[in-house]
Amino acid sequence: MKSQSTKLLVIGGGPGGYVAAIRAGQLGIPTVLVEGAMLGGTCLNIGCIPSKALIHAADEFEKARHYADGSPLGIRVKAPEIDIHQTVRWKDGIVGKLTGGVGMLLKKHGVQVIKGWATIVDGKTVDVQASEGEPVRVQCEHLLLATGSVPVELPFMPFGKTVISSTEALAPGELPRRLVVVGAGYIGLELGIAYRKLGAEVAVVEATARVLPSYDDELTRPVLATLKRLGVVLHLGCSVQGLADDGAGVRVRSASADEFALPADRVLVAVGRRPRTEGFGLESLHLDMAGRSVKIDDQCRTSMRDVWAIGDVAGEPMLAHRAMAQGEMVAEVIAGHKRRFTGASIPAVCFTDPEVVVVGQSPQEAQQAGLDCISAAFPFSANGRAMSIESTDGFVRVVARSDNHLIVGWQAVGRGVSELSAAFSQSIEMGARLEDVGGTIHAHPTLGEAVQEAALRGLGHALHI
């Protein structure tokens, strides 16, 4: 076995790991990154990026079908068709460009990438079974765990054959005629809506009484309306019991304990993700854990000195941009900078139809925290830009303290609201007050005017409602 040494060893080349490695390289820290599969991790290869590409393709196909039925815009087209194989090739092309770009950036900043699977020996030693060549033992001063997460598997309905995870759903060889989605969280609904727009019959089974159960009713109402418009069949307050005896569907139990069968060519299980903590010797470190995730402090330090953990392996929220921010911070702390990680303004986006964005505290969360807050919303039905793009469902809502008008949260639902998330996060990060946002001139006509109008409404003088 070959051996080498480095100052920083990163296990995992996903968004957190590769950003940490790039930043460390920029700071002159000798760095080795180990990745067993593809650079970019789940997000670039089988998560964030390919799912948004598939959602975009589904949106465009639905738009073409809408025009085939006639449109008030005066657009007429013949009945469109979808070539799912070409769609997947296009999606894979985007993924390839991005992962290739990550590799180039790592090389540019002097990071050594070892393609292979790591096994932790101790907090300073990792053995790597390289994909090519002989095994390598790497000695390091700092060990960074960025191993990500994996889909949760139902023990009575394991992945395989007709039962798929989001990974398989993003690379369909063919479109199923009937798809059952287990779980009405953001992953299940994003993909369920996309498959319905592509032409599949879709049914969603959710154990709770509502879709997107972690969001409040006001935010989810427009999404529920879209599901009904598209013809997605919802079975709320129901639980999946397993595959049907013939394997061509699932058995479902309702809240009243009645059982019924749902026919399905494919069953997408989307009941969440769990930290990837197995298969690479993590148990040898005897780290303190927080449930299934590695316990960290506000610098992403674990209970062992010079062992760090970022991203999904360190628990919720499992978001790529959180992992990136943590990775950048860890590299800077190792370089001697004074940094702390606080997640007060981490945006979370559901790319459903319409999109949903939450940043900071909701009205309910502010109240539970003991804050006396103002909550004010501005509807897109009163926004000129929303009217001109035929998308007036939804609103922007701001939450601010009553005493000093400090903004503590934003929520929005509507077409394209994911692009407003930067403004939301920045206002909280910079300590903005309602007066700051309300007094900022926003371009007209844009969806962003709803942000200004929400702040003005919180001050009691919205202009267009």
Q: How far apart are CA 74 and CA 43, in angstroms?
A: 39
* Whole-angstrom distance, CA of residue 95 vs CA of residue 424: 28
Dihedral sign, CA of 278, 283, 284, 285? positive
Helix (H, G, I), strand (E, B) or coil at 447: coil
Q: In this structure, what token pair is assigned to residue 133?
A: 């060549």
| CB 434, CB 451: distance < 8 Å | no
Radius of gyration of the chain (CA): 24
- Bridge-partner residues for 145, per DSSP? 11, 309
78: tokens are 């013949």
Written as one letter, the residue type at 438 is G
**Tokens 């889909």 identify what position?**
151
337 part of the active site = no
Residue written as token pair 């992945």: 159
Token pair for 248: 């061509």
Catalytic choice (109, 444, 461, 464): 444
- CA pair distance 261, 408, nearest whole angstrom: 45
Q: Which residues have a catalytic role annotated?
A: 444
